[in-house]
Amino acid sequence: MSVIALISVLAWRSLSKSPAPVAILRVIDVAGRPIPGATIHREGLRTKPGVFVSGWYSWPQQQGVPNPPVVTDANGEARFQFPRYVFEKVETGIVCLAVEHPDFVSDRPERVVDSSLPADAPLRDRMGDLLGRLVKHQKLVANPDPIILKKGGILKITVPPQYRVAPDAPLWGQVSGWNYDTSFWIHPGPGLLATRRLSEGTQAVRVVQFDSRGAIWSSDVTNVFSKAGEATELTLTLKRGVAVRGKLDAAVPRPVANGRVIVTVFPPGIAAKKQPPEWHAWTPVRPDGSFEFASLPSGDLEIAAICQGFINANGPGKFSMHYPQKHSIGAADLDLTIGMQPTARLEVMVVDEKGKPMPRALVSAAPNLRWGEWGAVILGTDLYDAGDAIRGVRTFERVDGPRFHDFDGMTDESGIAVLPNLPADVNVVTVQHAEFSLPVVKQYGRDEREAAVTLRVGVTNFLKLTVEPVNRAPIGSR
């Protein structure tokens, strides 16, 4: 077989991979020894180099690739299936992971699982890339670098009896970073809390206890310096959290429907981007517009609200998105009124290219709310409670609260969907359907499938969208 023919065959094989390729991930310690029993969670994906490479994408369940955690074997290895495409024909280059083991510090690494050029790269460049790999005896599919877990520092915390809620009530802890792994903490006995998995460096720590009514008792956030294998001992005292109660302002008609208030409390003086222990909670709004959080730790309070027809007026912020309002929680209970602003109702008709109504199409928008001038979420959807998460009752991945559909609607047999509660600054919507999609438009230099909309508050807005067969011209295929 000629060199050109061989390259052609290999190129065809490399560009015709299984829809669900497999990577072998290896977890080792700093000495290179394999770590069996490490749990690897799939968190997200990044694309190969190109216009989409800077983004983080959630795991695409619709491609049929399972998302359960995998556990390393005696050799520290685990077979890891990942989707060939992040979406449409945009190829996966990097997987974003979370790795846990009871004897090591947890890690959230990213690993390259396919470093070949994307299929939409020029053919000459792809052939050159392939030839270079052959010359250098490289594998056509990248071999992920090992994941190296480190031993942590030891932290022992004591809460004296006079500062405990009840003699036998367990203590719970929070540390810097997003850590709701319930195996992180050890409970040696009443009033005691310990871990041997504290990351090296300066870490912020808080201890929490709950009384019989579920009220929070917490310590101040304290900084400790951690070094692998070395022990630090702390004695901390607890104080009861304060109540935050209030109402939505008078602009919202009573009775209030589908209302909820969401809060995040940050320790004072520590920027959210440093990921200090924060407290997140939510509560429904009563029909009379009132709400109450029975107990929250002191700190810098950020509070957001949404109900049928209204969202909270923006708090201070640097970017063009929605922001919570800000207050300070001290030693006394807090009573406040949340300023609100009206939303818009949007009715969308979806049809195919022949004008036939398209049922079972999901029309949606995604207005963002930015917490702590750091992380953004879809407004009004992060309905989890930090107290439940640290105790393992439920986690932020398994929200057990009610599901709201403020920003999305499914088309009926007449092709009409209603999005009942959109912020006035929403300017695009998307359509999801098993067989049809919106045509591609250029947005910020890359292909997107979205439709522009201009909204007026207090009235029903109307929009008609035409969809095309989903496989006509996939993004990333040209």
Cis peptide bond prior to 255, omega within 30° of 0:
yes
The CA angle 149-150-155, to the nearest 5 degrees, is 130
- What's the whole-number average pLDDT of the chain? 88
Q: Please report the pLDDT score of residue 11 as a whole number.
A: 47
**Strand 222-226 relative to strand 201-210, pairing:** antiparallel
- Single-letter amino acid code for the residue at 173: G
Mean pLDDT of 80-108: 91
pLDDT grade for 114, boundaries at 50, 70 and 90: confident
Range from 166-175, 297-306, 406-415 carrying the lowest mean pLDDT: 166-175
Residue 397: is its pLDDT beyond 60? no
Mean pLDDT of 312-318: 95
Q: pLDDT tens, 140-174?
A: 444 799 999 999 999 999 999 999 888 788 999 99
Residue 16: is its pLDDT beyond 50? no
Q: Please report the pLDDT score of residue 5 as a whole number.
A: 46
> Fold for domain 346-367+407-469?
Immunoglobulin-like (2.60.40)
Q: pLDDT tens, 212-231?
A: 888 999 999 999 999 999 99
Q: Please report the pLDDT score of residue 462 as a whole number.
A: 98
Asked if 3-148 and 346-367+407-469 have one fold, the answer is yes
pLDDT grade for 15, boundaries at 50, 70 and 90: very low
Q: Is 164 helix (H, G, I), strand (E, B) or coil?
A: coil
Q: pLDDT tens, 319-377?
A: 989 999 999 999 999 999 999 999 999 999 999 999 999 999 999 999 999 999 998 99
Residue 253: is its pLDDT beyond 60? yes
Q: Partners of 264 in the beta sheet? A: 280, 302
Highest mean pLDDT among 46-60, 84-98, 136-150, 279-293 belongs to: 279-293
Mean pLDDT of 406-421: 97
Domain at 153-240: CATH code: 2.60.40
Residue 285: is its pLDDT beyond 80? yes
Dist CA 153 CA 358 (whole Å): 58
DSSP 386: H
Query: Are the beta carbons of 382 and 397 closer than 8 angstroms?
Result: no
Q: Where are the domains of the chain?
A: 3-148, 153-240, 242-342, 346-367+407-469
Range from 9-18, 129-138, 222-231 carrying the lowest mean pLDDT: 9-18
Q: pLDDT tens, 17-48?
A: 455 788 899 999 999 999 999 999 988 999 98
List the one residue out of 64, 67, 149, 80 whose CA is nearest residue 114: 80
Q: Please report the pLDDT score of residue 142 as a whole number.
A: 46
Domain at 3-148: CATH code: 2.60.40.1120
pLDDT grade for 138, boundaries at 50, 70 and 90: very low
Question: What count of residues does the chain have?
Answer: 478
Dist CA 329 CA 87 (whole Å): 43
CA distances from 327 to 4, 317, 422 (A): 68, 14, 26
Domain at 242-342: CATH code: 2.60.40.1120
- Single-letter amino acid code for the residue at 187: H
In this prediction, what percent of the chain has a pLDDT beyond 90? 67
